[in-house]
Chain A
Amino acid sequence: MGLEDLNHNFLTGRIEDLVKWARRNSVWPATFGLACCAIEMMSTGAAHFDLARFGMEVFRASPRQADLMIVAGRVSQKMAPVLRQVYDQMMEPKWVISMGVCASSGGMFNNYAIVQGVDQIVPVDVYSPGCPPGPETLMHSILTLHELIRTGEITKRRGAAGAGAGVHVTERRVAVATPH
């Protein structure tokens, strides 16, 4: 059977584009609600803002089933190792959105208890400003991430691509590569 028999319902494209198209349209976030932002993240998933429009309403409880971590809220020194452990459990390809100023830079809590930016622990793809960011802001950062997925590399590990805050990523990558 040749191609001449298939004259409808037929698309051609590069396999790379198709893979990225598929990935972009079904990003499954892990529930990583920490503080105030988590409530706004839940609002985003609920009826009024309806994250299902972007194929993202399935918040997975298990990091093994998720490919996006939305760090929603301030990360304390006590939580930091837990966050890293959850991130390490996620399968590649994986992305991180740092939601809110506390996760992005420590925000107004520049003190002994809070990690000043989650990018010191995990590489971040999109920073979402606001305290807390409204659902619209979160959706905008999700769409930004979709665009990154659509235009980015599909096989290269993002450590090499320099995603996130470069300085931290390099340090952390070296640390991870060290044998235990």
Chain B
Amino acid sequence: MTVAETSEGDQELLPKSRTAGVEYLREVGAVLRIPHLPEGIEEVPTDHDTMIINMGPQHPSTHGVLRVMMELQGETVLRCKPVMGYLHTGMEKTGEELTYLQGPTNTTRMDYISPLFNELVFSLATEKLLDIELPPRATWIRMLMCELNRMSSQVVWLATNGMDLGAVSMMIYGFREREMILAFFEKVTGLRMNHNYIRPGGVAVDLPEGWRDDVLKILEVFPQRLDEYDTLLTGQPIWQERTQGVGVITTEECLALGVTGPILRSTGMPWDLRRDQPYLYYDQVDFDVIVGSYGDTFDRYAIRLNEIRESIKIIHQILDKMPQGDYRVQDKKVTPPPRARIDESMEALIHHFKIFTEGFRVPEGEVYVAVESPRGELGCYMVSDGSSKPYRMHIRGPSFVNLQALPHMIRGALIADAVAVISTIDPIMGEVDR
């Protein structure tokens, strides 16, 4: 039987005898600035005493198609290397072929657990290039949807992390809660995932009638469910033993590696772009940045759990502040005319047609815009050459960078804990490989 070659050559973890000095240091997780192998560090066993095993890309605990190669001595992980690209979709190339209005359809499929954030960062970058100001209601709607999305994303993380660690009931519960939010999303955007709801110039449609009751219902149910999780997991000795002291990382190492999000906050550094470099109207709402103190898996669990509570707090404030008004900017250049006008005005029809076929032109320039996604800093670097399509669209996926902390966090752990560490990074492979 012919089986196609699945080896990836130099991208894989090579035997020690074939690994160069600095590369080796990286794979054992020594991220500090050591240019050469220091004397005396070579106490490690030779290639004959160890074994390189391959985990993934088709593995139930790698959250998609991540492939982790680990060198083991017995049960201990000596070094590891994430091999990725198995979900490389060419989205940055596709982004150059789509107009700015079509762009969010592309970016939304990157981080498929929190698609609205991808749309948001793309739209913010476009709007910064266009230099347009949004009506307040559009911004508040964006915040509402994003915070709900943050809740569903963290709940999915709790579910999958629970499943990886053997808490299968957590998985059932997590997806149950997610369905509530997805039902609301479906009502608003028409889709459960990959919404293409946040677009340059505002949002696609206004919130439907009765949205406030739906949101209030979610906010009413969630706190009780979170308390259930507390009972189920937080105080549970098995859960604590499996997570406490596993995958420890320090603030310095996080910053050196560019790691952001809950992993950075778990080390005690209060860095949250919503508070530190506010975008949308996050400077007008009151919320806490949750930090940990040990930088281990348990801290990251607690941070994600409590961030749901903070999101609930934020959404309550959004409900109070939601103004009336337009849900998209009334700028003829960017916004198609209202549906009713198309029936009576030929010009409106032509205008509508042109916006959706040719798209609108964006002035030349380049910007980098970042938002705080549930996984960390989600950035968009966009270059415009004055046409109606981005000249270069690059998304800085937080998972891609956070995944580079894996060799460090996994070093010296037992192989049973490797799953817990991979899971705690919360990599979304669509965003890693793009």
Contact = CB atoms under 8 A, between A and B. Distances in A.
Whether A and B touch (Cβ < 8 Å) is answered with yes
B57 A82 contact: yes
B89 A76 contact: yes
A81 B172 contact: no
Contacts of B60: 31, 59, 61
Given A46-B172, A82-B58, A38 B87 contact: no
- Chain A contact residues: over half helix, strand or loop, or mixed? loop
Given A48-B176, A82-B86, 8 more contacts: A35-B87, A35-B109, A59-B60, A61-B60, A63-B58, A79-B57, A175-B2, A180-B1
Interface in B36-73: 57-60, 64-65
B345 interface: no
Contacts of B193: 36, 39-40, 132
Nearest to A46: B175
A41 B352 CA distance: 37
Contact of B194 (A36, A84, A176): A36
A70 to B, nearest CB: 12
Contact of B93 (A39, A42, A111): A111
Nearest to A73: B87
Contact of A78 (B86, B109, B430): B86
Nearest to B171: A46
B150 to A, nearest CB: 16
Contacts of A48: 175-176, 179
A74 B89 contact: yes
B85 A78 contact: yes
A113 B90 contact: yes
Interface stretch (B3-11, B238-246, B275-283): B3-11
A33 B94 CA distance: 23
Nearest to A63: B58
Nearest to B6: A81
A113 B89 contact: yes
B91 interface: yes
B179 A176 contact: no
B106 interface: yes
B164 to A, nearest CB: 12
Interface in A95-128: 108-109, 111-114
Contacts of B160: 42
B6 A108 contact: no
Nearest to B174: A46
B3 A88 contact: yes
Contacts of A43: 175, 178-179
B91 A109 contact: yes
20 contacts: A31-B60, A34-B65, A34-B87, A35-B89, A39-B112, A42-B160, A43-B178, A48-B175, A61-B59, A63-B58, A74-B89, A76-B433, A78-B86, A78-B88, A79-B65, A81-B4, A82-B86, A84-B4, A85-B3, A112-B93
Interface of B: 1-6, 8, 57-60, 64-65, 85-91, 93-94, 105-106, 109, 112-113, 156, 159-160, 171-173, 175-176, 178-179, 192-194, 429-430, 433
Contacts of B430: 35-36
B64 A35 contact: yes
Interface string A57-72: 0010101000000000
Nearest to A38: B64
A112 B92 CA distance: 12
Contact of A131 (B57, B85, B194): B194
Interface in A39-59: 39-40, 42-43, 46-48, 59
Q: List 9 tightest A-B contacts by C-beta distance, closest first.
A: A46-B175, A113-B90, A81-B4, A36-B112, A111-B90, A61-B60, A79-B86, A48-B179, A81-B6
Interface in A161-180: 175-176, 178, 180
Which has the most chain B C-beta neighbours within 10 Å: A73, A77, A112? A73
A80 interface: yes
A86 B65 CA distance: 13
Contact of A35 (B85, B112, B156): B112
B109 A36 contact: yes
B87 A176 contact: no
B176 A46 contact: yes
A39 B113 contact: yes
Contacts of A84: 3-4
A108 B105 contact: yes
A28 interface: no
A109 B90 CA distance: 8
A113 B65 CA distance: 15
B40 to A, nearest CB: 39
B410 to A, nearest CB: 20
B193 to A, nearest CB: 6
Given A48-B179, A109-B94, A132-B194, A33 B86 contact: no
A114 B192 contact: no
Nearest to A107: B109
Contacts of B156: 39
A59 B57 CA distance: 17
Contact of B172 (A47, A78, A114): A47
